[in-house]
Each structure stands twice: as C-alpha cells, then as structure tokens.
Amino acid sequence: MSAFRIVEAGDSAIVVEFEERIDPAVNARVVAVAGRLRAEPVTGVRDVVPTYRSVAVYFDPLRTSYDALVDRLEREASAPVARARPELEVIRIPVCYGGEFGPDLSEVAAFGGITESSVVDLHAGRTYLVFMLGFAPGMAYMGVVDSRIAAPRRETPRVRVPRGSVGIAGSQTGVYPAETPGGWQIIGRTPLKPFDLSRPDPFLMKPGNRVSFFAIDRREFEQLERSWQPVVS
C-alpha cells in the first residue's frame, strides 16, 4: 500500500494526495479512488477531480458530514487498487505531422539531435497514459514521452494554437481541444475533436485511458475532417 495524506483546501474542498511524482502507478491509485467516489457518491459532494497524484473532492459544507467524508476518503485511499490490467482499448489518434500543422517539429528534432521523421516515429511509437485533464475542456495530459523528444515548453507561448494541434511539453503530450493560447511545442494536428458537445459523450479522453498516435498525410487529414463533421439531424 502506498502512502497518502488528506489535506484541507478551504472549507468546501478536501484533497487526497499520494506520492509526489508523475508515475502511472501513483496515477492508477488516483483514478481508482476517483472512480469509487463517483460510483458511490457521498451526500453533498459536488465534484471529484483526479489529477496526477491527488484527488480533490468538492462538497457543500452545509450538506456534507465532514467527518464521514474524511473517513470515506481514508478508507478509499488505503484500499488496494484492483490488479493493474492493461486496458484492451487504446484510443488511436490520427496526426498529420509537420509542415503548417506542426511548426515546432524542426525545433523538437533539433532538441533531440534527430531527424523530423524520427520525432514522428518516436511520438507515434508508444502508447500513452491519460494522467489527467485540465487547462480547457477535453485537454488531456498524457505521458510519458520519449526523453529524446521531451522538449520543454516554448519560451514565449503562442497567442493562438489551432484546435487539434498535437503538442509536447517536456515528458507530456496532448491535443489542444479548442483554439487557445498555448506554450507547447506543436508537432502536428489531428482532425479528431477531443471535446465535442454534439457527441453523446463530449470527451474523447478520460483519466486512465490509453492513447496512441498514428501518422496520416494532408489528404487523409482533409478526408477525415470532412467525414467526421457531426451529422445534423
């Protein structure tokens, strides 16, 4: 069993913290605790928010028994995590790398002292874990990126990063779900929408999911972009 502590975050939030590192094993505990809290909610709880190594529970202090909530969190945090079973399903994300869609591909290649096509091979060559979502609706923080392409954030963030941009920030990778400002190194773009309110489930990726990327060319990108337009009913 791994160590944890329970920390107050004001009068209407409480946080269970596991070991202070970005680690799939630690994150598995986070996702498990958050899942159990969602499956059997405590009265008065408004939101359960898993992040890399902690779970925040937001509650209404007027409707929640604080002591009962703490007891429950202690119980869940110390419960053994079900044996890690590799999820069969991997979310596969098509990416058109480089060119206009990936303006930082050359910089990431220079960072690793490798070719641009090696960057693509390394990025598309492994399966990533969704550690958490944050920053914007549907923005998944995934890892762990191969150290040869783990380029740090840009010194000056861009004012506008287009929706679908695939980026690297150190050991993390992710897909911008909307046009926002952003500082990640942009190496490509996907026609998939990580956040789409027209889908029954608007969120493509969730904490604990596994994700891989595969390369497509510009023509395939445009075809996919057209074919995945939401059906108007």
C-alpha separations of 116 from 66, 106, 221 in Å: 54, 6, 19
Question: Which residues contact other proteins by CB under 8 A?
Answer: 7-13, 15, 17, 20-22, 34, 46-54, 56, 58, 61-62, 66, 132-139, 141, 177-178, 180, 195, 197, 202-203, 206-207
Q: What is the CA radius of gyration of the chain?
A: 19
* Closer CB to other proteins, 43 or 115, in the complex: 43
* Closer CB to other proteins, 94 or 137, in the complex: 137
Nearest approach in angstroms of CB 149 to other proteins is 21
Nearest approach in angstroms of CB 155 to other proteins is 15
Query: Is the N-terminal amide bond of 81 cis, ω within 30° of 0?
Result: no
Nearest approach in angstroms of CB 99 to other proteins is 28
Nearest approach in angstroms of CB 132 to other proteins is 7
* Closer CB to other proteins, 179 or 220, in the complex: 179
Contact 62, 144 (CB under 8 A): no
CA 72 to chain centre: 26
Ramachandran bin of 113, using left for φ above 0, alpha for ψ from -120 to 50, beta for the remaining angles = left
* Closer CB to other proteins, 15 or 114, in the complex: 15
Nearest approach in angstroms of CB 34 to other proteins is 7
* Closer CB to other proteins, 188 or 208, in the complex: 208
* Closer CB to other proteins, 9 or 110, in the complex: 9
Nearest approach in angstroms of CB 123 to other proteins is 22
